[in-house]
Structure 1
Amino acid sequence: MAKRIALSWSGGKDSCMALERLVAAGYEVALLVTTVPQELNRTFAHGEKTEMIEQQSDSLSIPVHFIRCSLNAYTETFIEDLVQLKSRYGLDGIAFGDIYLEGHRQWGEEVAAAAGLEALYPLWCRPEDSVKLLTAFIELGYKAAVIRIRKDVLDDSWLGKELDQNFLEAIQQQTVCPLGENGEFHTFVWDGPLFQYPVRFTYGQILSQDSSQRLEIHPLI
């Protein structure tokens, strides 16, 4: 019997590629898990509206659970919700889309262990192999765009860029991780092999934050 797992879901390329690999390996992804600040209907990871995550969930036919937490109690609330989800969905583990940052992996493994779950890292690789993951994402036919950048490493011209062959070539000319593993850029995925239909959205204004620029995206119903 296939293991039933949850997937930590940001709405971007890494979590989507993790889903692709998990499905190909025969895991049953029972639900997506996304953290949301208690006061906002936006994700912790990329600042996206929860409606956009819900549209991805609908297209993927995988339910999403929003963990509503504060920054101060982030880990504790994450564990509490995982314990409840483990019972409700009969989970065996939880998967994360981290690629090579050891601190992120340690956190995920500790959280999973506290909830009595196995921690899975389907994308884990060496930093120098990250470009291969980006290449695979593009060649598989997934569609994504840059919606957030770090001001200190990329400029506004990268916002709204689609992840295609031109992007693959251009990002390798920058002094950043090709997959943005250090937060250099974040993406939103709207279509691909596992999607039943494209997620429809429109671009809004660019919002400046302390260390990043974020391109608003709005759902089209």
Structure 2
Amino acid sequence: MKKRIVLSWSGGKDGCLALHTLIEQGYEVVSLVTTVPKELGRTFGHGERTEMIRLQSEALSIPVHFIECTFERYTDQFIQDLQLLKDQYQITGIAYGDLYLEGHREWGEKVADAAGIEALYPLWMDQEEALDSLENFVNSDYKAIVIRVREDVLDESWLGRIIDKSFVQDIQQTKSCPMGESGEYHTYVFNGPLFSKKIQLEQGELIQLETTKKLEFKSYRLV
């Protein structure tokens, strides 16, 4: 019998690579888990609109569970919702797409332990392996677009770029981790082997935030 788990999901390439890896390893991912600030209706991770995550959920045929929380009660609410999901789906664990940041892993293991389930890190690696991981994504046939950049590392010309071989070459010329592990850039996956439909994105608009710039699409649909 397959182990039933949930996957922490922000919509980007790392989570998607983690999902693919987990399924290859024989896990059954019964739900995607995404945190959203109560008052904004956007994801905590990338500031993405919840409807964009719902499109991915539908294309992947995996339900999404939104954890509505405030910054102050983020951890407590996360644990509480994991306990609910444990009862609802009989899950044994939660997986994360983190690569090498120890602080992120410590937090993830702490909340999983508090909920009485296992924490899984299918992509965990040494920092030096990040470039190999980016190349693996490019070769995976998943399609992702850059939707957010940290202005102190990357300028707005990176917004809207597809994660492809030219991206791999160019990102090595910057101070960014090749995978953007410290938030240098964020992506949105819109197609790939596990997608039953492609997400068509059109009319991108640049939005200026405090320390980042974001690409928002006015038109998006499943095709």
Amino acid at match of 1:91: I
Distance 1:217 1:109 in 2: 35
What pairs up with 1:186-201 in 2 under 5 angstroms? 186-201=186-201
Distance 1:198 1:171 in 2: 26
Partner of 1:64: 64
- Conserved in 2, the CA contact under 8 Å of 1:32 and 1:62? yes
Q: Deviations over 1:147-179 (max 9, x none)?
A: 000000000000000001110111111111000
Instruction: Give aligned pairs, total.
Output: 221
Distance 2:165 2:92 in 1: 37
Distance 1:37 1:120 in 2: 24
- Conserved in 2, the CA contact under 8 Å of 1:33 and 1:66? yes
What pairs up with 1:110-125 in 2 under 5 angstroms? 110-125=110-125
1:51 aligns with 2:79: no
1:78 aligns with 2:78: yes
- Conserved in 2, the CA contact under 8 Å of 1:51 and 1:219? no
Amino acid at match of 1:72: E
1:114 to 1:218, Cα distance in 2 relative to 1, 3 A? farther
Partner of 2:11: 11
Residue 217 of structure 1 deviates from its aligned partner by 2.3
- Conserved in 1, the CA contact under 8 Å of 2:21 and 2:122? yes
Amino acid at match of 1:145: I
Amino acid at match of 1:140: S
TM-score, normalization: structure 2? 0.97
User: Cα RMSD between the aligned structures?
Assistant: 0.9
Residue 219 of structure 1 deviates from its aligned partner by 4.5
- Conserved in 2, the CA contact under 8 Å of 1:52 and 1:218? no
1:132 aligns with 2:132: yes
1:180 aligns with 2:173: no
Partner of 1:21: 21
Q: Deviations over 1:154-213 (max 9, x none)?
A: 000000000011101111111110000011000000001111111122243211111111
Unaligned runs of 5+ in 2: none
Amino acid at match of 2:205: Q
Partner of 2:104: 104
Identity of matched residues, %: 56
Q: Deviations over 1:114-140 (max 9, x none)?
A: 000100000000011011111111101
TM-score, normalization: structure 1? 0.98
Amino acid at match of 1:15: G
- Conserved in 1, the CA contact under 8 Å of 2:200 and 2:220? yes
* The 10-residue stretch of structure 1 (205-214 or 109-118) with the greater mean CA deviation from structure 2: 205-214
Distance 1:85 1:173 in 2: 43
